[in-house]
């Protein structure tokens, strides 16, 4: 069993809050969570039935009809708050799990890859239809084409006020800037 | 006989058989912080319960972290935590409602991120 000893301590005064990192397969969700998290990557499992619903009592949990999926999970302990980051699986067959992960989240950072921008549409639709606050971070890969921001906005059909940032999910400074853009945006929405 | 198709067990059989349920009025979710009640009686727990208490000796953790450290799925640890909250062994701190997030909390997150 891993020890939680070496990490920043959470106190009973800390308020837990959460942000969700979403995006299609291979876009960099795990990389971004790991770049920012103060704790070693922890693997937590969710148990789903074949039908894609969450198992929430233990009857039948060991049966062949269940399947597990690992969730990226990170933590940042700050004065007064402990921020949890959840990487949400992109597959739409995990919709029920998705709904659970975003419930209670301050907002969602949607990752996109300009080499296959269409892959982010399904996630954007989910986020928008759930009325979630979100920002888009384009994760830049070496062979990613460089589109002007306006063209990207148009391709993603983003509202003028939705933040669009370019990031390198491997770089903590860049990953952090994406989260700051998201939280600034959430603040503006709450104040408006 | 073992084959590639054989599934590993998600939880120990005795836990699966225990039919744990969440007591009414106990609210537990992934980011709920849990900690040991100051006056808790901590002996006589079953192995997952006593592992959980060992884990929490150094301070609060979210239910999700507890699950990861215990190597058990969230759905199991949620029930374990809820039972121990119901019996008064653990206390919880829930995440605040987010329909309209508190500006002060957002400011704390922003200054925390900027200070990283
Ligand atoms: N060059 C570059 N490579 C990246 C970046 N972000 C992620 N990668 C690489 O892209 C691959 C996929 O990244 P992951 O973080 O595993 O993506 P994911 O979204 O978690 O993928 P799934 O969990 O499979 O959906 C990994 O090999 C990363 O090292 C980036 O910003 N730049
Ligand atoms: Mg991943």
ipTM computed for the complex: 0.90
Label the pairing between strands A44-49 and B33-36: unpaired
Res A7: pLDDT: 62
Residue holding tokens 């799990």?
Answer: A97
Confirm whether B72 is domain-assigned: yes
Residue A1 has pLDDT above 50, yes or no: no
If you average pLDDT over residues A2-25, what whole number do you get? 82
Instruction: Give, rounded to a whole angstrom, the gap between the first and last alpha carbons of chain B.
Output: 52
Read off the pLDDT of residues A42-52 as tens digits, 9 standing for 90 and up: 878 888 877 77
Domain interval for residue B86: 13-115
Which chain B residues touch A11 with a CB distance below 8 Å? Answer: 59-60
What are the distances in angstroms from CA A158 to CA A113, A114, A139, A163, A164? 15, 15, 16, 9, 9
Read off the pLDDT of residues B38-69 as tens digits, 9 standing for 90 and up: 988 878 888 889 999 999 999 999 999 999 99
Which chain A residues touch B34 with a CB distance below 8 Å? Answer: none
Asked if A44 contacts A73 with a C-beta cutoff of 8 angstroms, the reply is yes
Spatial CB neighbours of B62, under 8 Å, sequence gap ≥ 6: A16, A75, A82, A84, B30, B31, B32, B33, B34
Res A156: pLDDT: 94
Res A154: pLDDT: 94
Sign of CA dihedral B69, B75, B81, B83: negative
Contact A82 B18 (CB under 8 A): no
Domain interval for residue A24: 2-191
Question: Hey, whose CA ends up nearest to atom 12 of ligand 1?
Answer: A26
Read off the pLDDT of residues B71-85 as tens digits, 9 standing for 90 and up: 888 988 998 999 899
Domain count, chain B: 1
Residue A86 has pLDDT above 80, yes or no: yes
CATH label of the domain that carries residue B99: 1.10.10.10
Confirm whether B40 is domain-assigned: yes
Stronger pLDDT, A83 or A88, i.e. the higher one: A83
Res A60: pLDDT: 67
Structure tokens that stand for B40 in this block:
């808790």
Task: Say how many C-beta atoms besides its own lie within 10 A of residue A192's C-beta.
Answer: 6
- Give percent of chain A above pLDDT 90: 64
Which chain B residues touch A2 with a CB distance below 8 Å? Answer: 68-69
Res A34: pLDDT: 95
Confirm whether B8 is domain-assigned: no
Probe ligand 1: pick from A22, A25, A30, max atoms within 8 Å of CB?
A: A30
CA dist A180 and B110 (Å) reads 6
- Give percent of chain B above pLDDT 90: 55
Q: Between A95-102 and A121-129, two packed helices, what is the crossing angle to 10 degrees?
A: 50
Domain count, chain A: 1
Atom of ligand 1 minimally distant from the CA of A25: 25
CATH label of the domain that carries residue A13: 3.40.50.300
Stronger pLDDT, A183 or A141, i.e. the higher one: A183
Confirm whether B23 is domain-assigned: yes
Confirm whether B7 is domain-assigned: no
C-alpha triplet B5, B11, B16: angle, nearest 5°: 110
């Amino acid at each position: 069993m891993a020890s939680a000893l070496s990490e920043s301590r959470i106190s009973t005064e800390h308020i837990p809050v959460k942000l969700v990192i979403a995006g299609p397969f291979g876009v960099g969700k795990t990389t971004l969570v790991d770049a920012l998290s103060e704790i070693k990557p922890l693997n937590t499992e969710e148990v789903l039935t074949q039908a894609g619903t969450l198992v929430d009592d233990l009857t039948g949990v060991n049966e062949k009809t269940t399947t597990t999926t690992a969730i990226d999970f990170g933590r940042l302990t700050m004065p007064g708050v402990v921020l949890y980051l959840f990487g949400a699986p992109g597959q739409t067959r995990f919709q029920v799990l998705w709904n659970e992960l975003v419930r209670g989240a301050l907002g969602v950072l949607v990752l996109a890859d300009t080499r296959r921008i269409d892959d982010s549409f399904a996630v954007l639709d989910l986020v928008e239809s759930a009325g979630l606050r979100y920002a888009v971070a384009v994760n830049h890969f070496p062979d990613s084409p460089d589109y002007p921001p306006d063209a990207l906005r148009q391709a993603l059909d983003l509202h003028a006020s939705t933040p669009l940032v370019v990031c390198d999910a491997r770089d903590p400074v860049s990953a952090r800037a994406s989260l700051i853009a998201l939280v600034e945006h959430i603040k503006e929405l709450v104040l408006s | 006989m073992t084959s590639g198709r054989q599934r590993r067990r998600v939880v120990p059989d005795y836990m699966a058989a225990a039919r744990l349920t969440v007591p009414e009025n106990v609210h537990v979710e992934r980011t709920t912080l849990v900690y040991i009640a100051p006056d808790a009686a901590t002996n006589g727990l079953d192995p997952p319960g006593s592992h959980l208490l060992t884990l929490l000796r150094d301070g609060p953790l979210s239910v999700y972290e507890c699950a990861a450290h215990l190597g058990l799925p969230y759905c199991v640890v949620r029930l374990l935590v809820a039972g121990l909250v119901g019996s008064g062994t653990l206390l919880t701190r829930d995440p605040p409602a987010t329909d309209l997030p508190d500006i002060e909390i957002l400011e704390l997150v922003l200054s925390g991120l900027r200070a990283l």
